[in-house]
Amino acid sequence: MIKCLFTGQVNSGKSSLIMSLAKYNSNLQILVSQDNSEESRDTASLYKNKVSSTAYHTHDLTHYIFLIGNNGQYYKYDMIDTVGLIDDVYTEPDLRNSVWKLFYNLSKCDVLVHAINAYQVKQSKGLSLLNIENEIIGYQQSKNNKSIICATFSDLKDAKKGIKCIRKAYPQIPVIPLSNSTGRGIGRLNRLLTSYAEEIVCNNEAS
């Protein structure tokens, strides 16, 4: 199973992004595991917005397990939703443990999807991320692991400026403009996750 970690600031749209991916693949069988074991998995169907029935919680994380793919090739993904990041995340006692678990799962994940609200990025000031965001992206780059940056809320006014700013800051990482309300970019993200899964599975089989 491919592990994909979703990170981003509070209200960056990362949780809605997982829902959009689930709905995009809603014609597929949805796999639900209450304790992350193959032996005890149950099956369910996804109906419209009822994605919550596919979730289970472990250590301040929310897991959504479903199939992703295209052109007849599908892979099981564990989509892991993490705590929303804030400016003083390290000084908040209630969040310290959640952040530790975030980084632990980051070290174990196959793919990182980081959401940045493109509408809030001010081109005149450049891209200003939280320190923890830079640490998350920098860690993934240092390990040469697969990363995707989702420029969310791309349908809003001035979002184009934000998208350009994000791409300039991270030229080595795919940046996908996304809109959870219109569905823009979800197909492209789905294809990229499928291609990453193909590569990961091939590398695992070769090793």
Residue-range domain boundaries for the chain: 2-206
Kindly report the pTM of this predicted structure: 0.83
Contact 166, 125 (CB under 8 A): no
Residue 53 DSSP class: G
197 pLDDT more than 90: yes
Has residue 50 got a pLDDT over 70?
Answer: no
More confident residue, 151 or 85: 151
Residue 51's pLDDT is what?
39
Q: Is the pLDDT of residue 58 over 60?
A: no
CATH 1.10.10.10 is the classification of domain 2-206: no
* Structure-model confidence comparison of residues 27 and 84, the more confident one: 84
Q: Is 27 helix (H, G, I), strand (E, B) or coil?
A: coil
Distance between CA atoms of 7 and 12, rounded to whole angstroms?
9
Element (H, E) at 178: none
Q: Which pLDDT value is given to residue 27?
A: 56
Can you give the pLDDT at residue 43? 35
Is the pLDDT at 148 greater than 90? The verdict is yes
